[in-house]
Amino acid sequence: MAKITLRQAARWCGGFVDDKYADVEFLGASNDTRVLQPGQLFVVLEAARDGHDFIPAAMEKGAAAVLCRRKVGDYPAIYADDPRIALGKIARQELKRIGAKVVGITGSVGKSTTKEMVAQVLSSVYKTAKTPANHNNDIGMPMAILSMPADTQVAVLEMGMNHFREIAYLSNIANPDIAVIINIGTTHMEFLGSQLGIRKAKMEIVEGMSSKGLLLLNGDDVLLRHLDSQPEQRITYFGRIDGCTVQAHDICQDGTDLRFRVQAGKLSFPVKMQLEGEHFVCDAMAAVAVGLKMAVPCEKIVQALADFQPMSGRQEIFRKKDFTIIKDCYNAGPESMAAALSVLGNRPGRRIAVLGDMLELGDAAWAEHYKIGRIAAEKADLVFAYGPHAKRVISGTLTGGMPETMGRAFEDRDELVQALKRAAKPGDVLLFKASHGMHLELILDRFLEEEKE
């Protein structure tokens, strides 16, 4: 990452800095004193807690300076009316200064996995930086940009949202050269009203793009094939169906290997990945499409995807205490829940689904949890549902044909853990899947912990 002076940052964001501190430099930024690194800019936000209260602690931990709204002590600082907006302006200008090509990625399901695949493919040729973990919002993405090395050639930026205009804001910071939309699902329908509303919000990604930009869309998604209006950017479709410029053929789940063939014009090559579930084909095809557009050789694309491993918490499959665990606790919507249950259903042995609530579905929550229960009845031998909608999931399992004794609803975490410990047997396969806000990983940890004597 490159050092930025307070004078330069203040000029970029329209803020003010005292002359005596104007030449102070910072490297990167953080809004959390718990993870702040020496030399970073401490970004003060005013939410549940007023970040101004943490300025002394941040400086004691080695912060180079502060980005804040009002003065708290005699510290190096940039003063701005809205530090959040100022942070975005600083990140936008720093990205321009670096001069990296920008790939923006959004979608309802799988955008983090796609971001990781795209970054892995591009890093085989280019010096590539990416947004880490869940840094995909109006705070995380700018901070990720400010942490990128000065010699970055390509920046792969994930863009998340749950309200209108959030993607537009991120796009106008990033100014993507290539934008990828993976799919239009039902997550965030609570705030966006419908899938058409979700599509409208996702399409905001073009607002920061020039007319020369490239929009890569999943051709298998009917809502992306039939747009209300055509953006001025060029569109390339990837997917399985005929008509996609970058198309997947001969998809096969071979044990724990996912295989398919890519056809793109005169190019044709096989891909083999160590992943379970055909839903990963969409993510991988997006990475292939980006790679080809960025002139990455086919053999490097193939090798990068062969080496790919899922991120922590996203369909991690491992053995512990004679159980096979499928840990997918980072997020959940109807589409990803159904995909995870399909992976469970293809596993040999007795299968137990531990399913937490899917959040932010609004009025659709009642019906969607019921539908997941019906799917779970086909894919699992036992279903343990957790959360306010747990009973609705279990009602779905009953109409799906699962015996009443094979499904249970829980609202108490401890009761679920104890019931699961009584029911699970060596050799079982257990899926843990829920929205992140349900903290199902805590239930998994409790289930796997050693009994104390």
Tell how strand 65-68 and strand 77-79 pair up.
parallel
Residue 311 lies in a domain: no
pTM attached to this predicted model: 0.89
Q: Which domain holds residue 12?
A: 4-85
Return the number of other C-beta atoms located less than 10 Å from residue 453's C-beta: 3
Residues 416 and 323 in one domain: yes
Domain end (from 284, 306, 328): 306
Distance CA 294, CA 311 (A): 24
Residues 120 and 235 in one domain: yes
Residue 376 lies in a domain: yes
Helix (H) or strand (E) holding 290: helix 280-293
> Is the separation of the CB atoms in 213 and 179 below 8 Å?
yes
Q: Is the pLDDT of residue 236 over 60?
A: yes
The residue with greater pLDDT, 450 or 11, is 11
Binned at pLDDT 50, 70 and 90, residue 403 comes out as very high
Residue 180 structure tokens: 């990828």
Interaxial angle between packed helices 365-379 and 334-345, expressed in degrees from 0 to 180 and rounded to the nearest 10: 10
Q: Is the pLDDT of residue 387 over 50?
A: yes
Q: What is the pLDDT of residue 450?
A: 62
CATH number at residue 228: 3.40.1190.10
Give me the number of domains the chain comprises. 3
Q: What is the pLDDT of residue 453?
A: 36
* DSSP type of residue 397: H
Binned at pLDDT 50, 70 and 90, residue 312 comes out as confident
Residue pLDDT, tens place only, 256-286:
899 999 999 999 999 999 999 999 999 999 9
> Is the separation of the CB atoms in 173 and 143 below 8 Å?
no
Residues 189 and 242 in one domain: yes
R_g (Cα) of the chain, nearest Å:
23
Return the number of other C-beta atoms located less than 10 Å from residue 232's C-beta: 11
Q: What is the pLDDT of residue 92?
A: 98
Average pLDDT (303-311) is 93
Average pLDDT (34-56) is 94
168, 178, 398 from 165: Cα distances, Å: 5, 19, 41
> Is the separation of the CB atoms in 384 and 397 below 8 Å?
no
Residues 119 and 225 in one domain: yes
Q: Is the pLDDT of residue 452 over 50?
A: no
> Is the separation of the CB atoms in 171 and 90 below 8 Å?
no
Residues 80 and 113 in one domain: no
Whole-number average pLDDT of the chain = 95
Residue pLDDT, tens place only, 104-121:
999 998 999 999 999 999
Q: What is the pLDDT of residue 451?
A: 52
CATH number at residue 421: 3.90.190.20
Return the number of other C-beta atoms located less than 10 Å from residue 230's C-beta: 8
> Is the separation of the CB atoms in 216 and 293 below 8 Å?
yes
Domain end (from 53, 85, 117): 85
CATH number at residue 27: 3.40.1390.10
Q: What is the pLDDT of residue 229?
A: 84
